[in-house]
Each structure stands twice: as structure tokens, then as C-alpha cells.
A and B are shown apart, each in its own frame.
Chain A
Amino acid sequence: MSQAAVTGLNGLSYAFILFMLSAGFSLTFGVMGVLNLSHGALVVFGTYVGLQIIDSFGQFWLAVTIAAIALGIIGFFIYFLFLRRLHGRVPEQAVLTIGLAYMAANLILWVWGPRAQIAHTPEVFAGSLTVGDLHFPLYRVFICAVGLVILGLLWWIQDRTRWGAIIRAGMDNKEMALSLGVNYPLVSTLVFILGVALAGVAGILGAPILGVYPTMGDNLLLLALIVVVVGGTGYIQGTMLGALVIGMLDTFGKAYVPKAALFFAYIVFIFILLVRPSGLIGRKVF
């Protein structure tokens, strides 16, 4: 039982990391119809920038902030220079962003070298939380808290703010939104930047758990797209649900049937495609 509780927390924190990783990806393609396959590589880039800051200044929060800002700036340029012109042309977007992903991964290798980086949990969260005779690693609890805050924030933006309304309007009918005088280009650029910056935060927070190596971008991208397809897009709660399913399944799978665990996420993915292609909670697109 105690084992299950700790595994549960691990699964939950992994799910929140997955959620933060995928939220940006899901936002950009589910809401704006922009496929950004360089998402994984950008996360890795943000993580390396963050780790560099930790190395140089030893400031965890500074690292998170700088990683988010750096990725936000890169995201702005990618969107402004390239993706803006490729609206609705998905194969072209895919080709372009996959090219950027390769370039980013190789630049990371060039600057920081091929070795895996060691990311320590920040000292503030080194201990563990004791409830009864159970010890929960504090850092995992912290990740869950941050994930909850971000989930709440995105949910609030989506459902309660003018921005959310504009995004939803743009998703339904971009021309109509534009002709009503809504500054959709501005909002979509900001959403793209937000998504990429969020991924930077996820990368640096998840680093002590996921590990950090230059070629991990592909793995992160695969995880993100499985989460997004399983959960469904268009709603932030869909991404969270997908992350929960995949995170829990993977963690419990690894704890109890380590050999088969690798395939659980894939089996769920194929199953969802067959049975409910729009995802668990997704807009009906088909």
C-alpha cells in the first residue's frame, strides 16, 4: 500500500511534467492549427540554457525564468519568420519545423557536447515530505503543485478571459474573427510564445526526473504527441487527462511489470486512434 502511494505520487508528478511538456504543443496545434515538430528540441534547448544558468549562478528560479524567456524569444522568431506564412499548410509546417528540430539538436550538441548532463534537484526541495510512515520526495510534490498552478492558469485563460474567447473564435472561424476587428495575429503569436516558454519551464523542472541529453528531443516529441492524441485537443483539460493516463500507466507499469511497461503507452495510443480518434475529451474533428 505504501509502495503504491509513493508510486502514485511519482506517476502524478510525471503526469504533470508530461502535461507541461505537451500543453504548448497541444495549444499550438489544437487551437491554432500550427504543427510545431521542433517542440521537443526546443524543450531540450531550454533545459540546457537553464542548467547553464544553474551552473553559473546557482539560482534555480533564475534558471527557470531565463529558460522560459529564451524559448519565448526563439518561439517568437520561429513563428514570426516562418510559421506565420504557412498558415493551414500543415505538411510545409512539418517539413520546416522538423528541419529546425535537427538544427537545434545539433547546435545543442555543438555547444554543450554529447554527454548527458546531470541535473540536481534544487536544495530547497531535496528533502521529503513525511505523512505517517510514508516519505514523499519533496521535489515531486513541488512539481505537482507547479503543474496544478499552470493547469489552473491555462484553464482560466481558456474559459474566462478575452484571450481565450479570441483563441476559440479563431479556431472556429478565423476570417470572421479577423473581420470583427480581433487582433488574431497578435493573440496567436502570443499563444505560440506562451506554449514554447511553458515547455522550457517543463524541461528544466523535469530535468532531474527525465534526465538531460542532446538527442532527447525526439523522445519528448513522441511523448507529447501521444499525450495529445490520447487526451484530445482543443481543450486544456484533454491534455491533462492524456498526461494523467500516460503518466500513471507508465509509472505503475514500470513499477510492477517493468518489461512490458514500455509498450503500454503505445498500445493505449493505437487503441485510442481506433476507438476514439478525437481523443478522450477532444473537439469532434472527424
Chain B
Amino acid sequence: MSGSSENHQSLAEMGAQASKIAAGRETWRVRGSLGITIGVIAIIILVLPSFVPTFVSSLVTKMMIYGLFGMSLNLIWGYAGIPSFGHAAFFGVGGYTAGILILKAGISNFWLNFLLAVLATAVVAAILGFPAFRVFGVGAGATNPIYFLLATIAFGEILSRVAIAIRPVTGGSTGLAGIPEPALGLGFKMTSGRYYYLVFVVTVVCIYLLYRIVGSPYGYALRGIHDNERRMQALGYNTWLYKYTSWVLAAVFGGVAGILFAYFGGIMHPTNLAMVTSDIAFLLVILGSTTVFFGPLVASLLYVGIEYLASLYLPDRWPLIFGAMFVLTIVLVPEGLGVRIVRGWRRLFRAAA
């Protein structure tokens, strides 16, 4: 068990490092530079569609969706220390609900649809949370999270098989195709060019909310549970409730990513519930660093880029490349790109001072 406690310690150190960043112990200069960088990136993303071909803005849309998906998983994995391996369950439930509501229930209004799909995701997460946290035990480092990983893998896979089985509702194994452009109401005509901005706005709002959650006392309690759950219990925190609510919150944001994805591609497929999609989120989090807030977003830029190149040149070997990305991440950058970037960032600003 020493390996596990060692790991726990190093995670705790990294967690402490991340807390320091978030707590604003770094200088205002670094903080300000971070704000300016985010602003610049936001402006670049906003004006990008006018300068680049459509496929690039479509890739950026995908990057934002996957980035949000990864960050939603990171809320429970990186902050609360709950490595869920079935996050696609919520991505898929969100997307499927939105699609089913449009195609089978005839609810075309985007906002109503969005709300109902988010609600559905929250309900599914609230139900699955009970069996999931039965096997989680106390403290991620204290007991082995293997059972939790297994249970969450199974959740996604089971939902995917359910989606295949109930063909009249979900379209079966061919998927739910023909999801139209979202109707925003007020006679606003949605095009794929405009959808880019919708995704941008929703993603920014979600990331802001995540940022506020992570920086709130609630977020610090999650980090405390990650570091030492028993101590948090001794301090009087109902740690189960914290873990459970963070699971539902992460699911909701994952569901939002799924809804955006459903409108983006116009199709939901059973694999969007299964391991294949969960693994994308998993890769984004570990590649982007569990301890860096924007990590998964950075990783999703790399991921979407590689996926696009692979689809151009080696479409048949994509799973091989995808798998190699996991192995290379663990072998080459086990701490993730985010930590590297933050480190380089600090060096840069120390050098400039």
C-alpha cells in the first residue's frame, strides 16, 4: 500500500500547488497576465471564423465542447479526487435527451430543450451516484479506487447497451440521426457559423461557473476531501454529500457538453455513452494535468488537432494513434501538459521581472 500512499502524497503536493495558484498567493502580475491571456484567447476565438476556413472553426467548436467535457470530469477527478471512468454516460444522456426531445417529443425550442436535457442528466447522475459511492469508500488515497473505476465504466457501457436496445426511442445501434440546428426562438435563424458563437457563449459561461465552484469554500472542501477525507470528516464535513454533489455537478457540465455535441454533429451514437467517449475525457484530464484548471482545455486543442490530422492521413489507424496517446502520456508527461505550461509560464514571468 506504500505505492498508494506515496501517490497520495504526491497528489496532495500537486493539489496544494494548485490551491496556491487558485488562492492567489502568486503575484498580481502573474494573475493579471493570466487574465490578459484569457482575454486575448477569447478575442482570438471570437474573431477567428472571419479569417479561417469553415473546417477550422468547426474544429474549434469541437475543441470547446471536448474542453468543457474534460473540465467537467476534472471537477471530480482533479479537485475531489474521484476518478470516474464513465463520464460519457452523462455526455451521452445529455445529448440523447436533447435529440430525443426534438425528434420524438417535438420540443424544438433550444432553451427549453437544454434545460430539460440538463435536468435529465442531473437525475441520471443523482440515481447512479448512490451505487457509485457505495464502492468508493473513504478517501481516494486511503482505499483503492479500482472498484469505483469498474463501476463507472460499467455505468457508461450499460447505458450504451440500453441505448442500442431501445431502438424506437434512441435509434438503436445506428444512432439518433437528423438532429436539426438549434432553434433559439425570436425568429433567429441558426446556421453552423452562428452555432460556433452559441457554443462559445455556453462554454464560457460553464467554465466561469466551474471556476467559481472551484474557488468557492465548496471547492476548497472538495480539495480537502481529496487530500485527507478523514480529517474533513473530523472537522464536521459531511464528505459523502460533498462527493455526491460534486459528482452530480460534474455530470451536469458533462451533460451540457453532450447537448452541444448533439447539435454540433446532428447525431448521437451509442458510442457517445460508452467507454470510447469516456476515454476522451479521461485522456484530456490526464494529458492536461488533473491539477490545472484549464488543463483539459489545452489538451483538447492538441487532441482535436491530432484527431483531425489522423482523419486526413491515417483514418484506419486512428484507434492505434488514440491508444498511443494514452501510453505516451503516461510514459512521457505523467504530470500532464498543464503543469508543464504553468511551470514555463512562471519561469517566463520571473525572467521578465
| A interface with B by C-beta (< 8 Å) | 29, 33, 35, 37, 82, 86-92, 94-96, 98-107, 109-110, 173-175, 218, 221-222, 225-226, 228-229, 262-263, 266, 269-270, 273-274, 277, 285-286
Contact = CB atoms under 8 A, between A and B. Distances in A.
Contact of B143 (A106, A222, A286): A286
B162 A103 contact: no
Contacts of A98: 275, 279, 282, 323, 326
A182 to B, nearest CB: 15
Contact of B146 (A29, A173, A262, A263): A29
Contacts of A106: 317-320, 323
Contact of A100 (B145, B154, B323): B323
A96, A100, A107, A173 — which one has the most chain B CB atoms within 10 A of its CB? A96
Contacts of B326: 95-96, 98-100, 102
A103 B317 CA distance: 9
For the side of the interface on B, what is the size category? 35 or more
B324 interface: yes
Contacts of A35: 146, 149-150
B96 to A, nearest CB: 17
**From B85, B165, B323, residue with most partner A Cβ within 10 Å:** B323
Given A222-B153, A229-B151, A273-B134, 14 more contacts: A35-B149, A88-B6, A90-B146, A91-B77, A91-B149, A92-B286, A95-B326, A105-B319, A106-B318, A174-B1, A225-B150, A262-B165, A277-B134, A285-B137
Contacts of B151: 229, 273
Contacts of A286: 134-135, 137, 143
Interface string B126-140: 000011101101000
A269 B154 CA distance: 9
Contacts of A266: 154, 158, 161-162
Contacts of B147: 229, 277, 285
A88 B1 contact: yes
Contact of B144 (A96, A107, A110, A285): A285
Nearest to A38: B323
A92 B7 CA distance: 10
B3 interface: yes
Interface centre among A35, A105, A222, A274 (most CB of B within 10 A): A222
Given A88-B1, A90-B83, A94-B149, A102 B158 contact: no
Instruction: Decide if the interface of chain A is mainly helix, strand, loop or mixed.
Output: helix
Contacts of A218: 157, 274-275
A92 B3 CA distance: 12
B228 interface: no
B83 A103 contact: no
A92 B143 contact: no
Contacts of B108: none
A29 B150 CA distance: 11
Contacts of A262: 161, 165
B155 to A, nearest CB: 9
Contacts of A82: 327, 330-331
A156 B149 CA distance: 30
Contacts of B286: 91-92, 95
A37 B157 CA distance: 14
A103 B150 contact: no
A229 B149 contact: no
Contact of B131 (A86, A175, A263, A270): A270
Interface in B77-102: 77, 83, 85
A100 B286 CA distance: 16
Contacts of A100: 323, 326-327
